[in-house]
Amino acid sequence: EADIYQTPRYLVIGTGKKITLECSQTMGHDKMYWYQQDPGMELHLIHYSYGVNSTEKGDLSSESTVSRIRTEHFPLTLESARPSHTSQYLCASSVGGGVYGYTFGSGTRLTVV
């Protein structure tokens, strides 16, 4: 049973719209991450947070922004969606690796038309 929840699962939206992808976890993990996944499978880290009010950009440049006002919540926002933003977005959380690794949400499949 997933302890990290992403909504919506699927989203089709028009170009120029503002969207927020939600991610919440009930495990009390300090660390949270957003990945963008290509159709070709590869995962790209776009944002991460090590605690409340702490956010960093990842390896892949992204036009999205994130916030971390509460431990359990790590939403990702696109101010103006474009077709190039079409992708699968995966949220994850961790206590810092170790034997538990990361726990992933089920993902949001975003299509911008």
Torsion of CA 16, 53, 48, 85, to 10 degrees: 0
Q: Which of 5, 15, 91, 111 is nearest to 46 (CA)?
A: 91
Tell me whether residue 32 or residue 78 sits nearer to another protein (CB atom): 32
Tell me whether residue 59 or residue 79 sits nearer to another protein (CB atom): 59
Tell me whether residue 60 or residue 82 sits nearer to another protein (CB atom): 60
Which residues are at the interface with another protein (CB under 8 A)?
A: 2, 6, 33, 40-43, 45, 48, 50, 58, 90, 92, 97-107, 109
For residue 9, the minimal CB distance to another protein (Å) is: 8
Report the sign of the C-alpha dihedral through residues 71, 20, 10, 38, in that order.
negative
